[in-house]
Chains A and B, each alone.
Chain A
């Protein structure tokens, strides 16, 4: 270590001037076969929606690989040309966001490449006014009960009771009343899914009784 790092500062209330991109929520173009829509809301410690947050997601492709020089296995042979891996969506006045993507594959663990696998997941960053640094969580998939049970992160949480805050829940239909993950309260999903694609609901509670598990990365 030689250079001291630059500190974080809040994204503030005016990031919408620059950071949202028209295609930001689309990790793959809408209508891509097999696309899944992840929709949810972001809540503060009083249970109110946060209308000025920015959600970012980062994930592997459906084969569990990254087109990046630090994935030692290299990119998937099939390429997934339209797959960016990265999603970005500002929240609406009702605190809602949505990301359209492909479900990632499971990932080998560097400490045990032939054995333990990480269950399919997205890394999720939340930025907003009132956050001096981003907060980071993960989203896992509800149809992966076996892989989730073996996942090294999910299975080693200090408070196993909060595990549900990291797992999305199936949303019955676009605009329908999905059951929020980790929360008994019902709320309507205002972010609609793409035509024909499945929809998952992933709410993020920054603070409060249903506080999402956040990570030190």
Chain B
């Protein structure tokens, strides 16, 4: 250890962006949230580092959810792409993204799924990608469907794609959902509306992009994801790092 010089980055602590742990509109939160106050954890080495998982996890069909079976899946083919950034506007390169979603009929391929909508033998609904050096990612998939759930009478989830991201540090880990523009179920969905700030909520909705849309083939949606940023002032004057970029 180099005594006297151990400078690590510091990540901002967002306030009022994430949903509250206890949200009465989403019943399952009742027994699954801590009731005691969270204890502030100073960000030290374990928190400012994180798993750098890479290409070894990716197979060629992971980014194309329409190409994982012998035949074409049913439904509207879409392209979903965007950038992963941090809140300082810096791209987050080489980071693993994992997604899962329903098929076009609103059915998940999962043993505990009971929605009586058809499974599609040509669609599993799972994907993985690694961002490139500019933080860009891209998936080809099928427009997911809405589906009913048991939260309250006549409850339906708006169409969405689940996203899981690592970023570069434990502090940046994010699991979220991407929604589609113009979905009439969004204003009455407790999970979407658990995000307290309407502007923050809007950031969960992808934008239709005619420039990304491919003629005669697929609609294009753009969705950028912003992870917590680093406090630049802590970085200034830091030591030269010995660690490699790609470990």
Residues in B neighbouring A56, C-beta threshold 8 A: 173
Interface size band for B = 35 or more
CA of A68 to CA of B171 in the docked complex: distance in angstroms? 14
B126 and A217 form a contact (CB under 8 A): no
Interface hit among B67-75, B82-90, B180-188, B213-221: B82-90
Number of interface residues of A (CB under 8 A): 80
Is there a chain A Cβ closer than 8 Å to B242's Cβ? yes
Residues in A neighbouring B200, C-beta threshold 8 A: 4, 7
Is there a chain B Cβ closer than 8 Å to A133's Cβ? yes
CA of A70 to CA of B21 in the docked complex: distance in angstroms? 30
Is there a chain A Cβ closer than 8 Å to B152's Cβ? no
CA of A128 to CA of B242 in the docked complex: distance in angstroms? 37
Is there a chain B Cβ closer than 8 Å to A152's Cβ? yes
B31 and A44 form a contact (CB under 8 A): yes
B41 and A44 form a contact (CB under 8 A): no
Q: In the complex where A4-B226, A18-B99, A113-B5 touch, is A217 in contact with B47 (Cβ < 8 A)?
A: yes
Residues in A neighbouring B46, C-beta threshold 8 A: 58-60, 66, 107, 118, 121, 123
Chain A 72-96 interface residues, beta-carbon cutoff 8 Å to B: 72-75, 84-86
Contact with B along A45-81 (1 / 0, CB 8 A): 1101010100010111000001111111111000000
Task: From A8, A58, A157, give the contact of B175 (CB < 8 A).
Answer: A8
Residues in B neighbouring A86, C-beta threshold 8 A: 50-51, 53
A207 and B40 form a contact (CB under 8 A): no
Task: From B47, B52, B53, B88, give the contact of A123 (CB < 8 A).
Answer: B47
CA of A162 to CA of B38 in the docked complex: distance in angstroms? 12
Q: In the complex where A6-B204, A17-B126 touch, is A85 in contact with B51 (Cβ < 8 A)?
A: yes
Residues in B neighbouring A125, C-beta threshold 8 A: 173
Is there a chain A Cβ closer than 8 Å to B106's Cβ? no
Residues in A neighbouring B38, C-beta threshold 8 A: 214-216
Task: From B1, B19, B50, B125, give the contact of A7 (CB < 8 A).
Answer: B19
The 7 closest A-B pairs by CB, nearest first: A130-B28, A74-B242, A86-B51, A130-B32, A132-B19, A215-B41, A45-B31
